[in-house]
Amino acid sequence: MATIIRTKEGTWRAQVRRKGKYISKTFRLKGLAQAWTNEIEHLIDQGGEPSSQRTGKPRTISDLIDLHIADLIEVKKPLRRSKRAVLEALKRDLGSTKLRNLNRAGLIQYGKKRAKDGAGPVTLSVDFSYLRTVLTHAAAVHGIVVDTECVRLARTALARLDLVGRSNERDRRPTEEEIEAILKYFGEKPTIIPMGRIICFAIATAMRQEEICRIEWPDVDMSKRVVVIKDRKDPRKKDGNDQKVPLLNLTGFDAWQLILEQKILTGGKGRIFPYNSKSVGTAFRRARQFLGIEGLRFHDLRHEATSRLFEAGLSIERVALVTGHKDWKMLKRYTNLKPEDLCQLQTSPQLTEAQYIQLLTRA
């Protein structure tokens, strides 16, 4: 059991009693105390022997990561699962590196080793991004002298070696035949989860599977035919990003009709689609494998829905109201426009090559 008490001096005294072991330590910030108690409890649970030795001035990458985490906790911004996993990996691989020994060459070697062990360009890109964030935070918030430029240079070098880079944009769209086959599959093999209706709803609304399984009936405005997606995914705003999404009938599937069908099924209580999003993904993959459909993911239905909205004639800003994209540039790839498509938009009759040559010959 852990307790944290504020002392008369304004510091925070952390105490951990767990499995017959006791340890205490004083911290300047409550967040540091909380992070320390969590780490000590985890250490004891793993059979380790805790030490009450003072950390003192940060000297290693591990110290800076702990400081970064503690500061986030202090301002009530706990780590998300993905970021925590990356920082734990950085502590494991680079944590013992002393700040005075941090340099470009060492980071390049680290990147090459990670790549050799199987880390892809995107994974390495995230690693270096978070590492630079930690170092910049230490310099900006705590005035710790640390070289952030070496991270940028190492990342540039690894990018030139194609070891760091962005993920390839997916442009996979299911064909009409594939959609019909999947819907037929679930129609003939009914399950507890109404997969057919969920797939149709995904194409009608461009929602992610987690969003579909999270929305509740109080989030639906029955008079305006809109639904509120709470905390919608946004790389710049993790929390409080609530968005209203219209329930349209522009993609070949009627979102409003599907909502009404679910209301009959659920009685209008709880979640609209009260199912585990991971189970939805598993069922989709099982159908895809049974039907022999290659390279199709549930998330590709969002791509399909977005493309269909453009094909229905909606402008970028209107499509964004449905998909939730804040950066309209991200929507350009969903238009799937080709140079030859523009030729088909011409209203004046176009001469064939033979007709054009004939006219030139006459001239």
How many folded domains does the chain comprise? 3
pLDDT(36) > 90:
no
Are residues 82 and 156 located together in one domain of the fold? yes
- The stretch 153-164 carries a mean pLDDT of 92
Q: Are residues 94 and 68 in the same domain?
A: yes
Give mean pLDDT, residues 107-130.
92
Q: Which of 168, 189, 213 is the last residue of a domain?
A: 168
Q: Give the separation between CA 226 and CA 248, rounded to whole angstroms.
A: 9
Does residue 235 register a pLDDT over 80?
A: no
Give Cβ neighbours of residue 10 (< 8 Å, ≥ 6 apart).
none
Higher-scoring residue by pLDDT: 191, 124: 124
Is pLDDT at 53 greater than 50 in this prediction? Answer: no
The CATH number of the domain holding residue 126 is: 1.10.150.130
Is the pLDDT at 330 greater than 70? The verdict is no
Q: What is the spatial distance between Cα 347 and Cα 172, in angstroms, rounded to a whole number?
A: 31
Residue 299 above 80 pLDDT?
Answer: yes
d(CA 55, CA 58): 7
Q: Do both 200 and 128 map to the same domain?
A: no
Domain end position, chosen among 168, 185, 220: 168
pLDDT in tens, 271-289: 999 999 999 999 999 999 9
Q: Which domain holds residue 131?
A: 56-168
Residue 292 lies in a domain: yes
In a domain, 126, yes or no: yes
Question: Does residue 41 belong to any structural domain of this protein?
Answer: yes
Which tens digits make up the pLDDT trace of 77-91?
A: 777 778 888 998 898
- Mean pLDDT, the chain, rounded, equals 84
pLDDT tens-place string over residues 180-217: 999 999 999 878 899 999 999 999 999 999 999 999 99
Q: What is the pLDDT of residue 352?
A: 63
pLDDT level of residue 59 (50, 70, 90 thresholds): confident
Residue 202 lies in a domain: yes
Q: For position 196, which CATH number holds?
A: 1.10.443.10
Domain shared by 159 and 273, yes or no: no
**Segment among 20-29, 113-122, 185-194, 329-338 with least mean pLDDT:** 329-338
* Neighbouring residues of 271: CB distance < 8 A, sequence distance ≥ 6: 213, 214, 215, 216, 217
